[in-house]
Each structure stands twice: as C-alpha cells, then as structure tokens.
Structure 1
Amino acid sequence: MYHPYFRGKQFELITIRETAPLLADKEFVPIIEPVRESLGGLKKTLQSVSDAGGRAIVIVNPYHGDHQEDGTSITGLLQDGYIGHDAIAAGILLRSDMSVADVMACYGDHADHNPVLVHAGFNTPKDLAAALEAQMSHMTNVFVEDQDKLLYRRHFNQSRRILVKDGFKRQRNADYPPVEEFSDLHVTYADRGMDGFGDFLIVGDVYSEGGGPAYAVAIHLTFIDNDKDDVMYIYHFVSDTKDTPTDPAGKFGQALGKLIKKLDSGTSKLLETEAIREFRSLHAKGHFPGLGYVKKLSMKHHIETLAAYLG
C-alpha cells in the first residue's frame, strides 16, 4: 500500500531499520535508492526488513550518488543474499536516457529478484508495455511522475500500480511557512486507479549531498487534518536565529521550543507518536542529538502517522 522512497544515506537507512517491524506489520514497502559507495548499511537494513517479515525494493541502477555510473555492486549484494527471496525486489529506475532495450536487458539481469519498474522520466511506455506483455499481470510498476500523466500509466493498467509523489516543497530553512499542505494521496490513490502510493517523506525528491552550514534549523512534522477531508499537512518549526552558520544546537533548541509549545497548546493535531515522545524527551533534557538524528525522528513520525491512519 504505502511505499516510502528513501535515498540510502545513513539516517534514512537507520529510519528503515528502526521502523522495520512497523513497516512489516502494515505491509508498507520501502523503496531504497543506494547513494553511498559502502553497502554495509544497506545490507544491515535489508537484513532488518527480512528479519521483521517485511519487504523492500532496492534500486539497482541509481540516478544519484556513488553508484550512478555502475550499480553492479548493488546487484552483487542482491545475488549474494536474496536470489529467489520474495522479500527483496530489484527496482529498475527508468529515466529519459534509457531505451526499451536497456530496460529489458536490466530486467533480464534481475529476473531472479522480482524486478519492479520505477518510472521516473522514461518516454516510450507503449513499446515497453508491448515488450513486457507476457509478464504484465505479475508485475509492479511504480510511477514517480505528475498525477496527470494518465496516458502514460494506462499502458501498464494490467499490472499492480503505485503512484509516488513528492509532497515536500523544499526551500531554504529560513523561508519555510509555519504550515502548508503536504498531500492527499493517502486518501485519493484508489480514486486515481492506483493500488498503492508513496512519497519522499519529509526529505523531498531533490537530491543533495548535504553537510553545509545550517543558517536556520527547521523541524518538519506531518499531520492529518480530520476536519479537512483527512488531507496531510506539514509543520515547519524554524529557529528564530537565521543569519549565522554557528550554534546549531541553540537553533535546534529554538525550533524545538516552538514544537513543544504547539504540542502543549492542544491544537496541533500532531499524533503523539514515539518520535514525538522523543522530541519531548530531548526538550526536557535540553539535548541536541545532531541534525541527522532530528531528520530521522521526523521521518519516523511520518511513517507512524500514516501507519495509524491506514490502520
């Protein structure tokens, strides 16, 4: 049903490991695009997913990061531990520079790994669908595209279809509004003829290596508004200090103070998830765990929120 799309950075992989039992219980299937040369973290993550009885899709030809020129080491990881293993599928990323022959070659190379096609800019759907006609009823196709490309998606309507949309409008931390709409896809995916949906959590589809100085610190937290047709919104709790790259701990304290104030007002509509309880604990201790850890908590909260909503 829900397919969160992760780039395989450290805290993204940790998020998957820590939520693996919940993901498995709700039959949520993470999509992982490895972006780091070392695959040790990915291997641990796939083991956690497998141990929990869950499933995952691993992109074998990433567009971003250290494997964008050559994904053979990812294929090797799957071959070493997951041939014929239903829990871990090979995801083939279909970009605009790929031909039908390219796709079919990659599909053949990963036939033992339940290949899933992840459409993200590919432009010859009719020919590809014809080439895959015999397999179509057993396939899953994931569409990372605009919702209005119905003519594209209709070529694959005999398969299981997942629509992934980016609800996170990335900008400078200092420029985020206090709250804005995130997505209604968790409510409307079936109305769009889809069998499931996904998003890029609170990170967004825009890839960056990160690591630059934080002139402002923001905590991003999603919530579902029952008074507005269950649309999902996102809070951006932004530090008051925005004009210096120093003191990230102090800025986090400012942003966290705004979050706690909103929670205590009783009007936030934020679900009291495990992640929220940890934010409360950090506030009580006056502790700054690092920006990567903060992002991990926000991602966990997003998953917990959707898990509670989808029951």
Structure 2
Amino acid sequence: MYFPFLRGKQNELLALKNLKDAEILSDSIFPVIEPVKYSKQLVNTLKGLLSEGHNMILIMNPSVGTFIEELNDNEQQMDEILKIMSHPSVTIGYHLNSEAALEELPQLVERCSRTLADTAIFHNNQINLDIYEKIFGEFEARYNFIPDQKPLKRRFRNKNGVIFRDAFIKRTPNAEYLNYEVEWFSSDHLDFEDEEFLGFSDYSIVGKEYAESGFGAKAIAIHVIYPDESNNLWIRHFVSDSNENRADQAGKFGEALSKFVEWYDKTESVLINTQGLNELLDCAKNGNYPGLGMLKRYSIKHHLELIGNMLVKV
C-alpha cells in the first residue's frame, strides 16, 4: 500500500481529483492529506474521494499552515470537517510530537465520533514512543508512520507500520539540478513487505519542505519518476538553460520540456505512459505554458499513477 503525503494545497488536491475523475486512482493508493488551510476545494476533493469509495488519512494537527486556527475561528467550517472525519473511510491522522497528545488525541477522537483504533500516528522519532504507549496501552493505532530508525522499526514491524521517508532531494536554486540530472529515488515499493511493513509513504516529488506560495524562478525544472529494468525508481530532472533572470517563464519551460520530450521518445517503459506525462506531451504539441502550478500537478499525477501501476505489476 502506498500512502502519498500531500499538503492540502490546490494543485495537490486537484491531482487527486483529476485521477479520481479519470478512474485511474488505484485502490493501492491511500492518500494522506495534511491540510494547510481550509478551502472549498479541500472539502469538495475529500467528499469526491469518499463518494467513490476511496480511503484517506486526514491529519487533524497539521505541522504547517493555518488550518486549525481557521477552524477554531469558524464553527460552521469546524462542523463540516468533523462530519467528514466521522466517515468510516477516513482515518484520523495525528503528529505525535509532545505530551499534549495525552489529552488532545482522545478528545479529538471523541469529537470526530471515532475511536483510537481509527487513527494514524505520525512518529517524528523514538523520544515520544512512551507517550504512544500511555495512550494506546495494549492496543495499536490503525497505522503507525515511522522514520527509518531502528527502535521504531523494531516496535512497529508487523504491527501496522508504514515506513515514511522524504525521497525527494530538494536543491536550491533549481539550476542546481543541472548538476544532478538523474538521481536515486526509492525501492520502498519493492521492499516494504519483505521488511514486514504494511506500506510505504513519501512526499512525492514535492519534498517535505513547505512553502506557502511559489513565484517565478530563474530556472524551471520538470521532475519525472521512472523505473529501471529492476523496477527501482529513479528521478530525472529536466532543467531550462537560460537561467540568468526570471524573465520569459514560458521560454524556460519550453527549454526544459524539449529535454523531457527527447528523453521520453527514447524511453520504452509502458509504465510511464501516464495521464500526467501525456499532458506534458500535449504542452509540447500545442506550444503552451501551463504555469508552475499545473506543472507540479502533472508530475504528482504521473507519480501516483506510476506507483499504482507498479504495485499491480510487482
């Protein structure tokens, strides 16, 4: 099972919605959504996924953004989210990062009309493991997301553990990717069962680092995940060349896109024939620049569809 961790920003939500609407969101994809702010797009996306029978995890104490503050200031919005959280296909996500969880988590579960068995706990490190034991006693959360640390891996192996990594190496500025055209991404989709975990999770091609909004970059980079002959995953970066200033974003995109098209035409794997990459190819055919937000959406859609296809294949 793949648990992509997506911050609830517009293009991440729309990537899920587009795949759902096209009926290509695999049942092996179990999205984790950490909402950074309340929006109608968030609510509509969640309701749309639930109406199609998709499971999800919604984090109710986000580590970034203004979501909690907005809900606390608006009773109607709070009631709307709590109603969604009461749905049996929704699992309550919670960052276990302080002793406040001893009181806060049981109260949150009660407000959502659920039980502690309906939770997904995100462990930052083993320091707070004793808090988990105090809350759950002899029971377990439905899912335990853990970093690659031996004490946590030993504790949750074969006990609904999900290995959680940031597989995307963020480089700043984007022009740095010219020095790292191809990089290792992950083999967790091949290894998680052998390591006795229920599933695996990452931040897709976005990475853990959070930014409230984007802006025109000196260099535009297209990030594409692809499998090698052994089905290990690699990431390839296609980067513009005219990177002296922020002028002509469309031209920069065209430079990166031409590199992607040349690579795609030489790559034979049917697994990369995804909706997201086909939308990039359409940009090349039509000569249009969709904007950085859409570019991010295409890459996320490709990644989710690719992983869904590979979990069936392997």
TM-score normalised to structure 2 length: 0.88
What is the aligned counterpart of 1:117 among 118, 121, 139?
121
- Listed one character per residue, the Cα deviations across residues 39-94 of structure 1 (whole Å, up to 9, x for unaligned) are 211111111211221011111111101126576467533323442x2111221112
- Secondary structure (helix, strand or coil) at the match of 2:166 reads coil
Greater RCO (Cα-Cα under 8 Å, separation 6 or more): 2
Aligned equivalents of 2:280, 2:203: Cα separation in 1: 22
Q: Where does the alignment leave 5 or more consecutive residues of structure 2 unmatched? A: none
1:34–1:3: structure 2 CA closer, same or farther, 3 Å change rule?
same
What is the CA-CA distance between 1:205 and the residue it aligns to? 0.6
What is the CA-CA distance between 1:279 and the residue it aligns to? 1.2
What is the CA-CA distance between 1:120 and the residue it aligns to? 2.6
Whether 2:45 is the aligned partner of 1:45: answer: yes
Whether contact under 8 Å (1:58, 1:91) holds in the other structure is yes
What is the aligned counterpart of 1:141 among 140, 144, 147?
144
Amino acid at match of 1:66: T
What is the CA-CA distance between 1:111 and the residue it aligns to? 5.2
What is the CA-CA distance between 1:132 and the residue it aligns to? 0.5
Percent identity for Structure 1 against Structure 2: 30
Give the alignment of 1:90-129 within 5 angstroms.
Answer: 90-95=92-97, 98=100, 100-110=102-112, 112=114, 114-121=118-125, 123-129=127-133
RMSD: 2.3
Aligned equivalents of 2:303, 2:268: Cα separation in 1: 18
Which piece of structure 1 moves more, 92-101 or 115-124? Answer: 92-101
Aligned equivalents of 1:80, 1:273: Cα separation in 2: 34
Q: Partner residue of 1:292?
A: 293
Amino acid at match of 1:16: L
Aligned equivalents of 1:124, 1:271: Cα separation in 2: 40
What is the CA-CA distance between 1:292 and the residue it aligns to? 0.4
Q: What count of residue pairs does the alignment treat as equivalent?
A: 302
What is the aligned counterpart of 1:204 among 179, 203, 207?
207
Give the alignment of 1:174-253 within 5 angstroms.
Answer: 174-176=175-177, 177-226=180-229, 229-253=230-254
Amino acid at match of 1:125: L
Aligned equivalents of 1:95, 1:130: Cα separation in 2: 14
1:127–1:81: structure 2 CA closer, same or farther, 3 Å change rule?
closer
Q: Partner residue of 2:65?
A: 65
Whether contact under 8 Å (1:92, 1:107) holds in the other structure is no
What is the CA-CA distance between 1:29 and the residue it aligns to? 0.8
Aligned equivalents of 1:276, 1:264: Cα separation in 2: 12
Amino acid at match of 1:51: S
TM-score normalised to structure 1 length: 0.89
Amino acid at match of 2:166: D
Whether contact under 8 Å (1:275, 1:298) holds in the other structure is yes
Give the alignment of 1:271-282 within 5 angstroms.
Answer: 271-282=272-283
What is the CA-CA distance between 1:96 and the residue it aligns to? 5.1
- Listed one character per residue, the Cα deviations across residues 231-256 of structure 1 (whole Å, up to 9, x for unaligned) are 10001000011110111111000000
Whether 2:261 is the aligned partner of 1:260: answer: yes
Whether 2:160 is the aligned partner of 1:160: answer: yes
Whether contact under 8 Å (1:46, 1:88) holds in the other structure is no
1:194–1:262: structure 2 CA closer, same or farther, 3 Å change rule?
same
Amino acid at match of 1:159: K
- Secondary structure (helix, strand or coil) at the match of 2:2 reads coil
Aligned equivalents of 1:237, 1:178: Cα separation in 2: 7
